[in-house]
Structures are given as C-alpha cells and as structure tokens.
Amino acid sequence: MSTYPSSDSDQMLTHFRQALQSFRTSNAPFRILSSIPKPLNSAPLPPPPPPPPPPKTLYILDSSFNPPTLAHARIILSALQSPHSASTPHRVLLLLAIQNADKAPKPASFEERLAMMEVFAQDLQAKIKPSSTSQPEQSELGIDIGVTTLPYFADKYPHISPSSAYPLPETEQVHLIGYDTLVRLLDTKYYPPSHTLKPIQPFLEKHRLRVTYRADDEWGDRKAQDGYLRDLGDGKREDVGGLREWVTGKRIEMVEGRKEGEEVVSSTKVRNAVAKGDEEALGKLVTKGVKEWILREGLYKD
C-alpha cells in the first residue's frame, strides 16, 4: 500500500507549485519551502515542545535531485555520523538550484523534484535514531528543503546564513559535494574578470567542504584525487589564490563514498530502471517512499 495517497500527492505538488511561483516573483535568492518535521497546524493540549535551537552546523546537499537517490542518502548519513556532527546542534538542507526557471525542467518538473525531496527527507529522518545525536535538546534531525537562483558557492553562501532561517552568525555550513564539483569549484574560469580563486576565499575561511571520492575513470582513481588536494595543500595554486590552509586547516576534506560491495547509484540509473520497468532495480537505487512516488506519478517513463 502506498505511503502517500493520491490526494496527499496532489496537495504536495500544489503546495510546491504555489511556493515556487511565490519565490520566483519575490526576487529573493534563497528560500526554504518546507521542513521535516513539519510544524503543527494547530495548538493541541499539551502544547507542542519548543522549537530546536538554531543549528551551529548546517549540512548542505545541493543537487538536481532528479530524482533523490540512495547515493544522496549515503552522503548525508556519512556526514551525520562524523565526530563533528555529534558535538554541535545541526540540521540538513536539501537545496535545489532553479536558476534556469524560465526553461521547462526535464524530465521531472521542479515541483515534482521538491515533492520527492520531501518524501526523501521523511525516509531519511526515519533512518536516523534520536540516540544518534549527543545533543539532548535535539531529539530528532531537522531537514529543510530550499531553493536558490544562485549557481555559485561564492554567491549563495551569504544568503543561507546568517538569515531568517539560520540566524546564528557562527553557523558553519558544511557543503556535501563530489570530487567533480570540487574540481569545478576550484576552476578559475568560473571567476571572471580576475580568473583567480580569491572570490571563494571568504567562503572557505568560514565554511567547509566535505568531498566524496568519485570512483570512475573520468575523474581518475583515488590516488589522483588525493594528489589534486595535496598539490593545493602544498601551495601549488597560491599563484591563483588557492590557499594551502584550505587543506591543512581541513576546510576541504576528502571522505569515502560508496563502500565495497554497495550498489553503484546514480539518477541516470534510476531513470533507466523506470524506463525498463525494472521495479526491483529501482528499489536498490532510491528510498521506499521515493520509489512509490515515482511509480504512482508515472515519472521517467519516457
């Protein structure tokens, strides 16, 4: 039996469609559209518990979520199990960039992706036991679903925190990215007119990157990826503004991705499994709730 009846699906899609329209007309660069757990609609007796404290650590996964996959879940769960996570109040932000909002997104619309992100967040939260955090005031993980119109880290991070959503000036953003994204982030061609890395120096002075190894031929093996970061730490990119402190001070840190024997997961494999009608394969690539949503809504069949 489906976890989300058709009527709930329609309501969720309507909510995100309207929220997206409001965001687009506001000219705001960033907004949270939904949160898990959701705030209560009424004030029952006894009154609801006070909201959790603002996070001092915000784990951010910025992706196309087309759709959300178990690879996304692995990245988040790995970060939440790190020693740093256990020492401070934290939240997770699932961030969708919609800078190309004037073009019809394919194959799933933005509102469909946002709905799947909420389903994914609920599935993810169910995997996290309250005992996994050492913070007594934070009994369950808070997950926010947000959108931005800004494509670059140097532009978006000041709008995320401090902000009305995350008011603490000391909140540290930990961006969960893949090695391929790191290479693009440190490519000077994205920073005209100077074409140096100085625009991201303020970002990495305050915030961190948790980088997952990419295990495919296009980006080299683990030794090559370690070498790329080691060169940065040895000061070999200081001539273009790349600071060795980013590595020596662990502002950029490489972490394991897929464990040996685990399924290779990608959004492309999800879409291919759906197109072939292979529900068993689909179940190995996405969470239960996301699988149900995809099948019920008929996504990725074409």
Q: Encode pLDDT of 255-289 as tens digits.
A: 987 776 777 889 999 999 999 999 999 999 999 99
**3-state SS assignment for residue 136:** coil
User: pLDDT band at 49, cuts 50/70/90?
Assistant: low
pLDDT tens string 115-160: 999 999 999 999 886 544 444 445 578 999 999 999 888 899 999 9
Distance CA 201, CA 90 (A): 24
| 27 C-beta neighbours (distance < 10 Å), count | 7
pTM of this prediction? 0.90
Lowest mean pLDDT among 18-22, 100-104, 234-238: 100-104
- pLDDT tens for each residue of 2-24: 455 556 899 999 999 999 999 99
Whole-angstrom distance, CA of residue 180 vs CA of residue 268: 16
Say if CB 129 and CB 97 are below 8 A apart: no
Distance CA 235, CA 239 (A): 8
pLDDT confidence band for 302 (50 / 70 / 90): confident
pLDDT band at 87 (very low <50, low <70, confident <90, very high): low
CA-based nearest residue to 74, from 105, 29, 120: 120
143-148 vs 30-36, strand pairing mode: antiparallel
Do 195 and 188 contact (CB within 8 A), yes or no? yes
In this prediction, residue 136 carries a pLDDT of 46
- Residue 236, C-beta contacts closer than 8 angstroms, at least 6 positions apart: 242
In this predicted structure, what is the pLDDT of residue 48? 58
* Residue recorded with tokens 């800004």: 150
Which tokens is 76 given?
């988040």
What is the chain's mean pLDDT, rounded?
Answer: 88
